[in-house]
Amino acid sequence: MALLLVDLDGTIRKPLSEEQYSQHPKDQAIIAGADRALQSYPENWIIVGITNQGGVAAGHKSMQTCVEEQQYTLELFPQVKEIYFCPDFAGKKCFRVTAHNAHNHSKTHWSGQFRKPGAGMLLLAIARHQQSAQNTCYVGDRPEDETAAQRAKVQFQWAEDWIKQRQSISERF
């Protein structure tokens, strides 16, 4: 068993409206190939979403809207078990969203490190799923994703390369 952590915005989803950010929870489109890439993993892999959501702190969306957005992402990608998001710029808050609930994990020793490029969300997911850094891979599309992976000491893969690689794997089977 292993753990796959995936960034969301720009890696597996984008705004359907083609605006810079989602305008409402269902303003989401699947990035071409991302669904097939996720489907290519064996069932014993744990797949978790990781996302900064500074739009909450900036006042562009409410916490409730943000939770609903993550829950809709879970509907779009049934392989994703849960999503961790950081809604503040200081990286002090972290919430874990499942299909029906949101859980506050802000009061951990990673508080202050949750916002990427901090490794807090990655380390929390690794700890909660009782995995090791060696059995974890993080996929993202931005330099802060790569830095977060380095700080968590996990393997990193660029989203575009990951989609191409996983498509070639799924085409073989």
User: Measured between alpha carbons, how far is 26 from 8 in angstroms, rounded to an integer?
Assistant: 14
Backbone torsions φ then ψ of 56, nearest 5 degrees: -70, -50
Beta strands in the chain (DSSP E): 3-7, 13-14, 29-30, 46-52, 80-86, 95-97, 102-104, 136-140, 155-158
Q: Where are the domains of the chain?
A: 3-131+158-172
Rounded to 10 degrees, the C-alpha dihedral 40/156/88/8 comes to -20
At 5, list the tokens.
């952590």
pTM of the model: 0.95
pLDDT given for residue 19 in this prediction = 86
Q: What separation in angstroms does the CA of 73 have from each of 9, 54, 60, 68, 113?
A: 10, 17, 19, 9, 24
Residue 20: DSSP 8-state: S
**What confidence score (pLDDT) does residue 171 get?**
66
Q: Does the domain formed by 3-131+158-172 have CATH 3.40.50.1000? A: yes
Mean pLDDT by 10 residues, the chain (173 residues): 95 93 92 96 96 95 97 98 98 98 97 98 98 98 99 98 87 59
The alpha-carbon radius of gyration of the chain (Å, integer) is 15
For residue 21, what pLDDT is reported? 82
Q: Contacts from 132-135 at CB under 8 Å and sequence distance 24+?
A: 135/1, 135/2, 135/3
Closest Cα to residue 51, out of 98, 94, 101, 99? Answer: 94
